[in-house]
Amino acid sequence: MPPVLVVVGILAAIHFWVMDIPSMLELAVEKLPDYGVLAFFYLSETILGLIPPELFIAWAGKTATPILNLSLIALFSYLGGMTAYFLGRRALKIPSIHYYLEVRMAKQLVMARKWGGILIAVGALLPLPFSISSLVAGMLKYDFKWWLIIGLLRFVRFAIYGAAIFQVV
């Protein structure tokens, strides 16, 4: 939780004292080439997913090739979640995290592993950060093959949101 609070604090400080974050995102999307926006989105989807994907879906709708860019955004979101999954697996090598999960949270860990698929599905379909649910799945040592299958729901979400947003944009 402390790293998340630090990132949120930094974003809040930037928002209030440097530049309005929505304006900064809009400026970045206008100035960056398509591959820069996609790289920025991948980083966002890997690291906590604090920037809503809907902004990038709306961006894709305004490009010359909206379906291609929407497909790439969905792919990069899935790959960002995969990266977060492996970061979660690596985080278990940190002794304090390993101890906390395996010893202090042992009883809760059994239930979390049992219902981990629902956690991944919720993160994939709902406007919750997919990277956080993927990071937790990695920390829980959730079976990667099942993560791959359930994570495909991310593409469904982007198709639904894309259809809705493209009609509005």
Residue 19 placed within a domain: no
Sequence-ordered list of residues with C-beta below 8 angstroms from that of 79, at least 6 positions apart, any chain: 42, 45
Q: Are the C-beta atoms of 151 and 82 separated by less than 8 Å? A: yes
pLDDT of amino acid 19: 66
- The span from the CA of 66 to the CA of 117, in Å, is 31
pTM > 0.85: yes or no: no
pLDDT of amino acid 130: 86
- The span from the CA of 108 to the CA of 9, in Å, is 29
Buried b / exposed e over 73-94, threshold 16 CB at 10 Å, is bbebbbebbbbbbebbbebeee
- The span from the CA of 116 to the CA of 133, in Å, is 9
Length of the chain: 169
pLDDT of amino acid 146: 93
Q: Are the C-beta atoms of 56 and 41 separated by less than 8 Å? A: yes
Which domain, by its residues, includes 125? 32-168
User: In angstroms, what CA-CA distances link 113 with 34, 119, 146?
Assistant: 38, 10, 12
pLDDT of amino acid 142: 87
pLDDT of amino acid 22: 64
pLDDT of amino acid 40: 86
Residue 139 placed within a domain: yes
Q: Number of structural domains, the chain?
A: 1
Q: Tens-digit pLDDT profile for the chain (169 aa)?
A: 565 566 567 667 766 776 665 666 666 667 778 888 888 889 988 987 777 888 888 888 888 888 999 999 999 999 999 999 999 889 888 887 777 767 666 666 677 777 778 878 888 887 778 888 898 888 888 889 999 999 999 999 999 988 887 775 4
- The span from the CA of 84 to the CA of 160, in Å, is 23
Residue 160 placed within a domain: yes
Residue 121 placed within a domain: yes
The DSSP code for 152 is T
